[in-house]
């Protein structure tokens, strides 16, 4: 799924000086969310919080690089769908598929099985947008990629929680 | 009269993994399933219920994507992400691994037997379609490698009576192959789908071919008299759009009743029937049954029993097989 070379050695960074964005504050819990008797559907902010994923080449989260933003997360709990658009830091980023795959895997692992998860590149932000979107939407190729132990290791590295 | 789908039985076939595909034996008494747990299970009827008769393990190192019975019912072929195809021989109730077909560079996506049982086709993410010849000594030899697709090949299917092969690909196209001077050549490329073509199914006569796609449509293709030269020509004569809300992963044409079933990423199983009064050059299909939430996750495969009219099997990412009865309600 991902071309060779990703994460191998890290001799040259593709985007050496990324713009760093302010992280959003801690989520404020409402009274009804703390009440176990109230049905509490999954909302956009919860999905966004799940996506505290590390960038493959920088010691930064996808949020700090503005790759993921809460406004580009759309969840419909009743309809069991989650859509996430992510924005590569540069239009030729070779990590785009890996980042999208990490987002997809994180959501697959975190959400109940009933959810349909669609991960796309923010329209107009990547040179190979259609090709990357098609790969990420092909569950057979995603399944095959995740049986590749070295690729799975890279994805898990992106998904591992880093102490900030 | 109104048609309906009713559940006969639900089986937890590949727990904790996907069930990718199911295939009926030619006499309709056995159902083979395969999945992400690398196993193949054989299901048969005991009394009124379907039970697991055998489990074929250790044949593959990775996901088993599809399985296919030989026309005689004595062999089962399994296509795996481990880049191999296994041939299993049936001995009473047991299956033994007979041979392993190697050669594809990466994941094998599909395997299919020709109606004669002497030829086998496989396809792979390596963009190629291979045709294998089987001799009397159960020896398999690759006779052709065809590279007509530009991307991952998802599915191969043989014509029900002729030695004509069709393949579907991630490149959005369908290719139709025929043998010419000991070589298999792509004789027609069917273009029209706007995304990955996931599966194909011929009708009983082999004159029509149904295809399903990530573009959420099903297309019906019809063999036409060639316009120039002697090449085969297929035209899209009908597009079923607006029925499926996500990717259509599989399509199956019942050779007994003519009903067309689809497996969809929106968890539903649908059955379409052809309007018999319509012009065969412009066929019309209508939705005869829609089972929303047929499974709790994507439906990956639908398969009509070849002997018992209206008996349909489906399988899903939820790991289950469901067996349905499609019939007219009084």
CB contact under 8 A, B63 and A143: yes
Quote the minimal CA–CA distance from A114 to chain B in Å.
6
The answer to whether residue A56 is domain-embedded is yes
SS (H, E, C) A29-57: CCHHHHCCCCCCCCCHHHHHHHCCCECCC
Quote the minimal CA–CA distance from A58 to chain B in Å.
32
Residue B251 has pLDDT above 70, yes or no: yes
The answer to whether residue A15 is domain-embedded is no
pTM for the full model?
A: 0.92
Residue A117 has pLDDT above 80, yes or no: yes
pLDDT (mean) for A115-139: 97
Which residues 69-128 in chain A show a CB within 8 A of chain B?
113-114, 116
Q: Which residue has the higher pLDDT, B271 or A30?
A: B271
The answer to whether residue A17 is domain-embedded is no
Quote the minimal CA–CA distance from B80 to chain A in Å.
10
Nearest C-alpha in A relative to B124: A141
DSSP letter, residue A149: H
Q: What is the dihedral of CA B51, B57, B62, B66, to 10 degrees?
A: -50
Query: Which pLDDT belongs to residue A3?
Result: 43
The answer to whether residue A12 is domain-embedded is no
Question: pLDDT confidence of A11, banded at 50, 70, 90?
Answer: low
Quote the minimal CA–CA distance from A108 to chain B in Å.
13
Of B114, B115, B232, the C-alpha closest to B180 is B232
Domain limits for position A134: 41-159
Question: Does A36 lie at the interface with B, CB-CB under 8 angstroms?
Answer: no
Number of domains in chain A: 1
CB contact under 8 A, B247 and A137: yes
Q: Cα B211 to the chain's mean position, in Å? A: 10
The answer to whether residue A32 is domain-embedded is no
CB contact under 8 A, A140 and B297: no
Q: How far apart are CA B315 and CA B8, in angstroms?
A: 14
Residue B231 has pLDDT above 80, yes or no: no
Conformation bin of residue A124: beta by default, left when phi > 0, alpha when psi is -120 to 50: left
Q: Are the CB atoms for A121 and A133 separated by under 8 Å?
A: yes
pLDDT digits (tens, 9 = 90+) for B151-189: 999 999 999 999 999 999 999 999 999 998 888 999 999
The answer to whether residue A60 is domain-embedded is yes
A 10 A CB-CB count for B39 gives 19
Least confident of A29-38, B101-110, B274-283, B293-302: A29-38
CB contact under 8 A, A144 and B296: no
**A–B interface: beta-carbon pairs under 8 A:** 38
The answer to whether residue A23 is domain-embedded is no
CB contact under 8 A, B318 and A113: yes
Question: Does A138 lie at the interface with B, CB-CB under 8 angstroms?
Answer: yes
Query: Which pLDDT belongs to residue B227?
Result: 66
Look over chain B and give the mean of its residue pLDDT values, rounded to a whole number. Answer: 95
Q: Which residue has the higher pLDDT, A163 or B36?
A: B36
Helix axes A96-110, A139-146, angle to 10 degrees: 90
* For chain B, percent of residues with pLDDT exceeding 90: 91
The answer to whether residue A13 is domain-embedded is no
Question: pLDDT confidence of A161, banded at 50, 70, 90?
Answer: low
Query: Which pLDDT belongs to residue A145?
Result: 95
Query: Which pLDDT belongs to residue A163?
Result: 46
Q: How far apart are CA A141 and CA B180, in angstroms?
A: 33
Query: Which pLDDT belongs to residue A57?
Result: 81
pLDDT digits (tens, 9 = 90+) for A38-92: 777 888 888 888 887 888 888 888 988 999 999 999 999 999 999 999 999 999 9
- The CATH number of residue A152's host domain is 3.30.300.130
Which of B66, B297, B319 best probes binding to A when mutated, by most A CB atoms within 10 angstroms? B297
Q: Are the CB atoms for B41 and B52 separated by under 8 Å?
A: yes
pLDDT (mean) for A99-104: 95
* For chain B, percent of residues with pLDDT exceeding 70: 98
Helix axes A96-110, A129-137, angle to 10 degrees: 30
User: What three-state secondary structure class fits B295?
Assistant: coil
pLDDT (mean) for A10-19: 70
Query: Which pLDDT belongs to residue A51?
Result: 86
């Amino acid at each position: 799924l991902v071309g060779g070379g990703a994460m191998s050695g890290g001799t040259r960074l593709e985007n050496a000086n990324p713009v760093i964005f302010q992280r959003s504050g801690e989520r404020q819990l409402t009274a009804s969310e703390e009440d176990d008797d109230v049905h509490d559907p999954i909302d956009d902010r919860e999905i966004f919080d799940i996506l505290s994923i590390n960038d493959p080449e920088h010691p930064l989260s996808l949020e700090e690089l503005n790759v993921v933003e809460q406004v580009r997360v759309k969840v419909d709990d009743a309809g069991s769908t989650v859509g996430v658009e992510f924005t590569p830091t540069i239009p030729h980023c070779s990590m785009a598929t890996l980042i999208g795959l990490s987002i997809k895997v994180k959501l697959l692992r975190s959400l109940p099985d009933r959810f349909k998860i669609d991960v796309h590149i923010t329209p107009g932000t990547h040179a190979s947008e259609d090709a990357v979107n098609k790969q990420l939407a092909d569950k057979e190729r995603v399944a095959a990629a995740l049986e590749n132990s070295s690729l799975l290791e890279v994805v898990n590295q992106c998904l591992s929680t880093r102490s900030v | 009269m109104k048609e309906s789908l009713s559940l006969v039985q639900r089986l937890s076939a590949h727990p904790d993994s996907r069930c990718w595909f199911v295939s009926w034996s030619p006499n309709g008494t056995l159902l083979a399933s395969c999945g992400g747990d690398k196993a193949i299970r054989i299901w048969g009827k005991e009394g009124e219920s379907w039970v697991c008769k055998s489990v074929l393990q250790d044949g593959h190192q990775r996901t088993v994507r599809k399985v296919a019975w030989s026309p005689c019912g004595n062999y089962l072929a399994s296509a795996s992400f481990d880049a191999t195809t296994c041939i299993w021989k049936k001995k009473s109730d047991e299956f033994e691994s007979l041979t392993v077909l190697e050669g594809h560079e990466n994941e094998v996506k599909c395997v299919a037997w020709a109606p004669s049982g002497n030829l086998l086709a496989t396809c792979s993410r390596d963009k190629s379609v291979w045709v294998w010849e089987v001799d009397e000594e159960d020896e398999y030899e690759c006779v052709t490698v065809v590279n007509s697709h530009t991307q991952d090949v998802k599915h191969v299917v043989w014509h029900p009576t002729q030695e004509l092969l069709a393949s579907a690909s991630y490149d959005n196209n369908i290719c139709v192959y025929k043998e010419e001077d000991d070589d298999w050549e792509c004789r027609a490329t069917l273009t029209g789908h706007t995304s990955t073509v996931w599966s194909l199914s011929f009708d009983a006569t082999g004159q029509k071919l149904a295809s399903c796609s990530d573009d959420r449509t099903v297309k019906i293709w019809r063999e036409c008299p060639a316009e120039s030269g002697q090449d085969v020509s297929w035209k899209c004569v009908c597009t079923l759009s607006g029925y499926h809300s996500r990717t259509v992963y599989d399509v199956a044409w019942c050779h007994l009743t003519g009903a067309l079933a689809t497996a969809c990423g929106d968890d539903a199983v649908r059955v379409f029937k052809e309007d018999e009064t319509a012009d065969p050059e412009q066929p019309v299909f209508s939705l005869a049954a829609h089972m929303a939430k047929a499974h709790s996750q994507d439906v990956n495969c639908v398969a009509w029993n070849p002997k018992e009219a209206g008996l349909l099997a489906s399988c899903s990412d939820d790991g289950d097989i469901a067996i349905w009865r499609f019939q007219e309600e009084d």
